[in-house]
Structure 1
Amino acid sequence: MRANLLMTAAMMAALPAMATEVVGYYPGWKHEAYPVSAANIGADKLTMALYAFVDLCWEGKHGNAEPSVNFVAACQEPLNGALAWRDEAEDGANLRALVALKKTNPQFKVVISVGGWDWSNRFSNVADSPRARANFIASTLKAIRKYGLDGVDLDWEFPGEVGVPCIVGEVCARPQDRQNFVTWAREIRAAFDQAGKEDGRHYLVTIAAGANASYTGDGAWVKDMSQSLDWINLMAYDFHAPWDKLSGHHAALYADAKDPATAAGAYDSAAVQRYLAAGVSKDKLVLGVPFYGHGWKGCAPGPQGDGQYQPCNGGTTSGFNGGSFYGFSLLRKLGMLTPSFEGGNGYKRYWNEAARVPYLYSAKEQVWITYEDPASLKEKARYIKQQGLRGAMFWELSADGEHQLLNTLSEAMK
């Protein structure tokens, strides 16, 4: 009997970890058009909502003066490193509404996400200052306890090379950013563990991490970082977008030899393998998937007649806010996708068998669109489970207002 029990335990240990997480971002700044409600959030299908975004205070202000962002405001708590809210009353109301959904969905967690693309400009300063890091921890725990939250997510884009250009006279990146980030995460973990003992619960610490090889570097720092985290939300999308001269898939699952960027590992499975090769454990990786797409204009049909991997003339103007960004719901609204998820309005849906993703092309308009749909989500859910990863994350809830993608992902992850 003992031998059989030992054998069963050994067999269980050899199995991949259960894929459990379905994590979705909620964009707080869209609360008027997409308010927190049971119907909009779908908490019964999620394990976590990441509330995007909360900022960091520095020298009494927060935001980003860079022209593409152009938002600066006074901090509610004018301490370097303290949390700063876009509008504390509105953010607080949104958070309370999200937390209320936990009453009927015990698996559902609510976590504040700090930073994001626009608001990563203060991370380097805070991470480089022991006092500012301590202020952040105290401020974050205060907010967690005030609103009944489950933890914090750090969305630093990116350590060592900030995404939004830094304005003249400010410092937004340092050579020591990665090591400072590791130190910061270690301090957060220790403080959250102590707070958890006092409160009788476990407080989560996660990060949103880049998927490109330039983010992981030699891998040593991400392994060290992972030791302090519950998991890493891997932003495995935007590998291609209209800033590229050629059309290309922004979240291909596997390599396609026809893609000129394949050699650089610009696809999901390569990103996952980079983290695993660095020593990050499988149960600390959550694969990010996009609920949106990107569009290029002026793309000739090319030899296959589908516009794929062809030179284009920049981004389209029919997407969100007149740009090249298309939420899945917007593709439906514009008629580019039919109710059965085929191409419409002159667009044809294609499927890349190697990359396991769809794309749309209009030969008449010469517009090419990369996006995610139920078929590609099922492929990614299968990959997550085969690899034994922690689960899936997506950006973001309002892009899938009818929950076609969320329903697919939730069901596929079971």
Structure 2
Amino acid sequence: MRARPFRNRMAACAAATVLVAPLMVAAFPAAAEETPATGLTVTYVESARWNTGYSGEIVVHNASGTPVSDWTIEFSLPDGSRIHQLWNATLSGDPAGYTVTPPHWGASVPAGGTYSFGFNGLHTDGSTDLVSCTVNGAPCSGDDGDTGPDHDHLSVAYYTQWSARERDYHVADLVGSGSAERLTHIQYAFGNVSADGECFMTDDEGEGDALADYGHTVPAGQSVDGVADDPGQDLRGNFNQLLKLKEQNPHLSISVSLGGWNWSRYFSDAALTEESRERLVESCVDLYLRGNLPELNEAGGEGVAYGVFDGIDLDWEWPGTDGNPHNVVRPEDKENFTALVQEFRDQLDEFGDETDRHFELSAFVPAGGWRLDSGYELDELMPNFDFVMVQGYDYHGTWESVTNHQSNLVTDARDPEPVISAELIRDAYVSRGVDPAKIVLGIPFYGQGWTGVEAGPEGDGIFQPAAGPARGTYATGTEEYRFLEEKVASGDFELFRNEDAGTAWIYDGETFWNYDDEIAVGQKTEWALDNGYSGVMIWAIDGDNAQGDLLAAIDEALRTN
């Protein structure tokens, strides 16, 4: 397994001790001389926090076979953080550039051992991460930069436009949780298509959030590299954080996802004619790939977002069939979608020729053969996609009055008709000629919940009538994994599982939540790979806990299968 990038995990509350998994240090050959720069790595933990103060501990690791007595650590701190007092080492400089060396009495780091020292500091409620940390001139992590996932599969996650503002899940949390290094792709959701058939930016409520995209000034404590956005920057907000994330993780491919449940309204109009298709694709390439952003919120400009996105993800829900009630739907959507995908492929390739790059084209595709037959010419579509992500969730939900699985791999023998499963959906695609290697299985990081549920003959609440949807943190009827995990830990709910179906659910005699935990996502990942899929996709990454445990379970399954 490859070494993990240097990171800090923030204290969860004032004066609370933080437990941090040590960095996994790469094996280094024994050194012939006493001070091999490549033999040292450094880890940092914020061990306590209170009011405006905090304590931190730095540990120097020596993986070589020789003691090291001459070492120098250099780093800076995010805006608002500084060291007040340091012991058992010598400190010079300021928050913009600290240098730490051994104390005057000396401090050798033993072969295969460690040396630690601590300090007290001041903060302003932001991050205290060590920024641009080096030890003897080499990265503190012990590697030369990004390593990426240690497997050859696709690991795709949707990050939503509203994650930071509404869910307090920032792009920087992808770093702090370790998720960024485990992902191969991020799909930024969503971009909107206007009534006149173009990709566009706006701050009009319900139509767009340009402020979140590239206008919001991200403070240091929420920034990927601990450096706050300058209010005068042309590119700020989520887009700038994604760009920083890619600088730290060059393996990451980031696409903008167009449409979604709420913003698929005008896809049918935009795909209707050759002229309208050309106009839509040209506008999307110009806005997202060329990076020509309209000047809003004193940000934007020509080319300012170039490099943020590596492709386009099409999330038209759904061609030729009903989705959101406000959607325009036409019988000819099926053929027009094929032509639209071809137009995207052609223009992406043309721009790729200009820039000597490959721009990816992907799509979110439905669970259900009837939607495929009404809206998709799969034999013509698939050659133009790098991959497609098949919906692996919302098979059942709180729009129904009976509890059920929302993301089962196979059919539960007790499931009342009509039944649906990942296995049946796989068969629908494969029987229509789709190569499984182009399929990525969608996995939910949230659950569906009902209340007023009787125990039923098995005492587990499954397949039982419900009074209505349960109350979730952000929406009625759904709840993110991180909060369902807390319900399990409380002891108020009993956990049940169907091993064959790869599902879990909890029930307290009244309220029922069906969801995917660490075991379930591992089972689903193994199933996807066993069936020839290229990997898995997550909706949405902000449902994971602060440690990124769900994605870590997926990563483990991807690496071992």
Please give the range of the TM-score, normalised by the shorter of the 2 chains.
0.7 to 0.9
Q: Does 1:122 align with 2:266?
A: yes
**Structure number with larger C-alpha Rg:** 2
1:389 to 521, 533, 542: 533
Number of the residue aligned with 1:9: none
2:368 to 212, 233, 252: 212
Displacement, 1:31?
2.0
SS at structure 1 position matched to 2:371? helix
Number of the residue aligned with 1:283: 437
SS at structure 2 position matched to 1:240? coil
Counterpart of 1:157, as a letter, is E
Task: Provide TM-score, normalisation by structure 2.
Answer: 0.62
Which has the larger helix fraction?
1
Give the share of equivalent positions with the same residue, in percent: 30
Number of the residue aligned with 1:67: none
The whole-number CA distance in structure 2 between the counterparts of 1:86 and 1:249 is 37
Number of the residue aligned with 1:20: 153
Which portions of structure 1, spanning 4 or more consecutive aligned residues, are displaced by more than 6 angstroms?
60-63
Displacement, 1:41?
7.3
The whole-number CA distance in structure 1 between the counterparts of 2:186 and 2:539 is 11
Contact persistence 1:254–1:269 (CA under 8 A): yes
1:369-396 C-alpha deviation (Å, 9 max, x unpaired): 1100111111111112211211100101
Number of the residue aligned with 2:140: none
Contact persistence 2:315–2:365 (CA under 8 A): yes
Q: Does 1:232 align with 2:402?
A: no
1:187 to 324, 329, 343: 343
Residues 153, 247 of structure 1: alpha-carbon distance in 2 compared, 3 angstrom cutoff: same
Displacement, 1:103?
2.3
Counterpart of 2:239, as a letter, is L
Displacement, 1:99?
2.4
Contact persistence 1:120–1:162 (CA under 8 A): no
Counterpart of 1:89, as a letter, is Y
SS at structure 1 position matched to 2:526? helix
Residues 144, 62 of structure 1: alpha-carbon distance in 2 compared, 3 angstrom cutoff: closer
Q: Does 1:331 align with 2:484?
A: yes
The whole-number CA distance in structure 2 between the counterparts of 1:41 and 1:140 is 31
Displacement, 1:20?
1.1
Q: Does 1:255 align with 2:401?
A: no
What residue ranges of structure 1 are gaps of 5+ in the alignment? 1-17, 64-69, 76-83, 339-343
1:14-413 to structure 2, matched below 5 A, reads: 20-32=153-165, 33-37=168-172, 38-39=175-176, 42-59=179-196, 71-73=205-207, 89-90=214-215, 93-142=237-286, 143-146=288-291, 147=305, 148=307, 149-166=309-326, 172-217=328-373, 221-261=377-417, 264=419, 266-317=420-471, 319-321=472-474, 323-332=476-485, 335-338=486-489, 344-363=490-509, 366-402=510-546, 403-413=548-558
Displacement, 1:145?
2.6
Counterpart of 2:323, as a letter, is G
Contact persistence 1:219–1:278 (CA under 8 A): no
Residues 154, 379 of structure 1: alpha-carbon distance in 2 compared, 3 angstrom cutoff: same
Counterpart of 1:412, as a letter, is A
Displacement, 1:96?
2.5
Counterpart of 2:496, as a letter, is Y
CA RMSD, aligned part only? 2.3
The whole-number CA distance in structure 1 between the counterparts of 2:434 and 2:372 is 11
The whole-number CA distance in structure 2 between the counterparts of 1:60 and 1:203 is 22
Q: Which has the higher contact order (CA 8 A, sep 6+)?
A: 1
Displacement, 1:100?
2.0
Aligned positions, number: 366
Task: Provide TM-score, normalisation by structure 1.
Answer: 0.83
Larger deviation, residues 18-27 vs 224-233: 18-27
